[in-house]
Amino acid sequence: MIEPSNPFFDTWSTPFGAPPFSRIKSEHFMPAYERAFAEHEAEIAAIAGQTAPPTFENTVVALENAGRALQRVDDVFGQLVGTDSNDTLLRIERDISPRTAAHWNKVRMHEGLFARIDALYRARESLGLTPEQTRVLERHHTKQRREGAALDPSKKQRLAVIVERLASLGTAFSQNVLADEQSYTMELGPDDLAGLPDFLIEAAKAAADERGIKDKHIITLSRSSVEPFLQFSSRRDLREKAFRAWIARGDNNGATDNKAIIAETMALRAERAKLLGYPSFAHYRLDDAMAKTPEAVRGLLEKVWKPARKAALADRDALQALIAEEGGNFRVAAWDWRYYAEKLRARRCAFEESEVKPYFQLDRVIEAAFYGAQKLFGLTFQPVDVPVWHPDVRSWEVRGPDGNHIGIFYGDYFARPSKQGGAWMSTLRDQEKLTGNVRPLVLNVMNFNKGDPTLLSFEDARTLFHEMGHGLHGLLSNVTYPTVSCTSVLTDWVELPSQLYEHWFEQPEVLRKFARHYKTGEPIPEGLVQKLMAAKNFDRGCQTLEYISSALVDLDLHLLPSAEGLDVNAFEKMTLDRIGMPEEVAMRHRPPHHTHVFSGGYYASAYYSYMWSEVLDADAFAAFEETGDIFNPEVARRLYQNVLSTGGSRDPAELYVAFRGRLPTADALLKKRGFLDATAAA
């Protein structure tokens, strides 16, 4: 019997060159990684070992073309670990993450390679490069320098050890959070369903069925499960139980506890920054961001914190009054906030979430997201049969206004035990033109509770539009070089397309067209649309504090010059006390389960970037509103040309000015969140 070949060693003849998921088995990854590492090392050695003087073509272009086999393996492996993991894949991840870090250390610290890049960088103004080529050269030089290529050998050696260890710690952190989320279920008996709407009861039954727990209802630690439970359950004891389990992920003093991992991570990050000449990791990380400095980040966060806190405290008092009115003799706690906020919204805004949800069927919200893309950019989405990694995954071919193929878009929308929590966008192939007109394979991942049909909350629907915005950033990329393709941009710029696209979901024009009752097909009542618009900023104070507190704890941790003796829980409390965090409000992400920050370095000391991008997105949407047409074709054209198609090929500030004619101020954000009056009062 002939053993089947490893798919990673073959040319993929699948439609659109999509990964052949049915052929890819766990045992294929390690041999594929081994070969890909070796190929990439040989390619780097060949580039660095040339006797010919460095040119853009023989050094930078060659570097852009190197490592393609490794990229292909990495893209597929990362996708499967995130969305359909198993014990074998998790073992491979624990093994491969430090080896991948070690491999990239060799590349980024390669003395000969850096010498060639540095020579080109110093002469860049005389090379006759295009703006995109100049940016690509600058990004390679910046990456090499920031990874330690210019350090002396002893510092390089220590830095390599740090980076490899951080990779192992990041993997352990994320797997611990996943394990805590997978292992916890709260079983609900008939008396435990009090207050829960039908859609949540159905979702709780589906979650039990998926885990083989027949004829039961369970709440899991998926955000789409636990947050609605906290919102609707009238059982205060069960709300507290679910809430405490939710905030204790990674903080359980057991085998999956992340506190020691955080302490070691912080110590290594601080040491890494010092080796590279920075006073703290935050200074190092932000030096390669739009914000540039910790002071700029803190300035924005604290400017918004003050009016948000004032609004949240006023809402807290209103919730406490509501409890007293109902005869309660307890002080509002964090596990009460969503429940009584829902009651307060019903009173203030004259509607409840349960009235709205029947109008937001998943398929209709997807259709609305596609409609926005068609109106703005002329895109069409047609279902297409390509290999997928799970039966729930959907796929569409995306075509442009001229009918030409743009890319493939995958949607993986449902929560399952094998899937990491949260929502994200990624790619299985990026757009580029270096090796021909390579079109992207873009995917959106969410964790909605599967139902028949699946009904979304207003926030769930907003999340879908958010990830679709990232998806458009990937689909509409139109650059030559892989290094600056798709979402390969600075962290505090990457959230602009996603947060900007959320605005279209909230528009009455879109709601009237797509928000239809899942049973009757009737459009959402005009009165309810107006109530939704009037209530956009309801509870925004609490939501803002949840986010900013997480961002400030992240920033403060990474400003530590040393993490010696770090007690992360004590540090968290100290920061929250300093900023005046109301004890009735919980952080959106506590450090022990903040995977954005500790499962890798991308958002480390950069969780603020969502708010930095929100300054941009609030001002950017105003460009449409000012014309009186939220789909204004001229503004959409400028958005495409200067934001969505450009990837990282130009400086973000330059791109924004080209789109808007100026840089924004925080006033647009304060107005969007309903805080301008509070700011004036403060």
Domain end residue (candidates: 458, 492, 526) = 526
**Helix-helix angle 609-625:540-558, to 10 degrees:** 140
Looking at the structure, do residues 202 and 88 belong to the same domain, yes or no? no
What's the pLDDT at 677? Answer: 63
Which pairing describes strands 441-448 and 405-414: parallel, antiparallel, or unpaired? parallel
C-alpha dist (Å) from residue 615 to 278, 421, 663, 664, 680: 28, 27, 10, 7, 18
What's the pLDDT at 353? Answer: 85
- Summary mean pLDDT of the chain: 95
For 413-463, how does the pLDDT look when each residue is reduced to its tens digit (9 = 90+)? 999 989 998 999 999 999 999 999 999 999 999 999 888 899 999 999 999
Looking at the structure, do residues 406 and 464 belong to the same domain, yes or no? yes
What's the pLDDT at 421? Answer: 86
Residue 222 domain-assigned (yes or no): yes
The DSSP annotation for 628-664 comes to T-TT-HHHHHHHIIIIIS-TTSS-HHHHHHHHHSS--
C-alpha dist (Å) from residue 107 to 54, 63, 112: 17, 10, 10
Looking at the structure, do residues 32 and 146 belong to the same domain, yes or no? yes
Looking at the structure, do residues 127 and 240 belong to the same domain, yes or no? no
Residue 389 domain-assigned (yes or no): yes
Looking at the structure, do residues 104 and 192 belong to the same domain, yes or no? no
For 69-85, how does the pLDDT look when each residue is reduced to its tens digit (9 = 90+)? 999 999 999 999 999 99
For 618-637, how does the pLDDT look when each residue is reduced to its tens digit (9 = 90+)? 999 999 999 999 999 999 99
Tell me how far apart the alpha carbons of residues 678 and 681 are, in angstroms, rounded to a whole number.
Answer: 5
Looking at the structure, do residues 36 and 84 belong to the same domain, yes or no? yes
Looking at the structure, do residues 90 and 207 belong to the same domain, yes or no? no
Q: Specify the number of domains making up the chain.
A: 3
Overall average pLDDT of the 518-541 stretch: 92
Residue 657 domain-assigned (yes or no): no
What's the pLDDT at 576? Answer: 98
Residue 647 domain-assigned (yes or no): no
**SS3 label, residue 214:** coil
Q: How confident is the model at residue 162 (pLDDT cuts 50, 70, 90)?
A: very high
**SS3 label, residue 641:** helix
* 90 neighbors 175 (Cβ within 8 angstroms): yes
* 484 neighbors 648 (Cβ within 8 angstroms): yes
535: alpha, beta or left, given left = phi > 0 and alpha = psi -120 to 50?
alpha
Q: Give the type of residue at 423.
A: A
> What single-letter DSSP state applies at residue 27?
G
Looking at the structure, do residues 94 and 217 belong to the same domain, yes or no? no
Residues 6+ apart with CB under 8 A from 676: 667, 670
What's the pLDDT at 680? Answer: 44
Looking at the structure, do residues 374 and 501 belong to the same domain, yes or no? yes
What's the pLDDT at 601? Answer: 85
Q: What CATH number corresponds to the domain at position 136?
A: 1.20.1050.40
Q: Annotated active-site positions, please?
A: 467
Looking at the structure, do residues 369 and 464 belong to the same domain, yes or no? yes
Locus of tokens 């506190």: 259
Domain range for 81 is 7-108+110-150
Residue 276 domain-assigned (yes or no): no
Overall average pLDDT of the 196-225 stretch: 91
Tell me how far apart the alpha carbons of residues 387 and 420 are, in angstroms, rounded to a whole number.
Answer: 21
Strand partners, 410: 395, 443
Structure tokens at 245: 């389990």
Q: How confident is the model at residue 667 (pLDDT cuts 50, 70, 90)?
A: confident
Q: Report H helices in 564-646.
A: 568-579, 595-598, 609-625, 633-639
What's the pLDDT at 175? Answer: 96
Handedness of CA 295, 589, 475, 72 (dihedral sign): positive
What's the pLDDT at 682? Answer: 44
Domain end residue (candidates: 526, 550, 582) = 526
CA 7 from chain centre, in angstroms, equals: 29
Tell me how far apart the alpha carbons of residues 512 and 530 are, in angstroms, rounded to a whole number.
Answer: 11
Residues 6+ apart with CB under 8 A from 41: 103, 106
Residue 290 domain-assigned (yes or no): no
Looking at the structure, do residues 71 and 191 belong to the same domain, yes or no? no
The DSSP annotation for 343-362 comes to HHHHHHHS--HHHHGGG-BH
Residue 189 domain-assigned (yes or no): yes
Q: What CATH number corresponds to the domain at position 439?
A: 1.10.1370.40
For 574-588, how does the pLDDT look when each residue is reduced to its tens digit (9 = 90+)? 999 999 999 999 999
Domain end residue (candidates: 220, 247, 274) = 247
Looking at the structure, do residues 374 and 487 belong to the same domain, yes or no? yes
Q: How confident is the model at residue 1 (pLDDT cuts 50, 70, 90)?
A: very low
Residue 469 domain-assigned (yes or no): yes
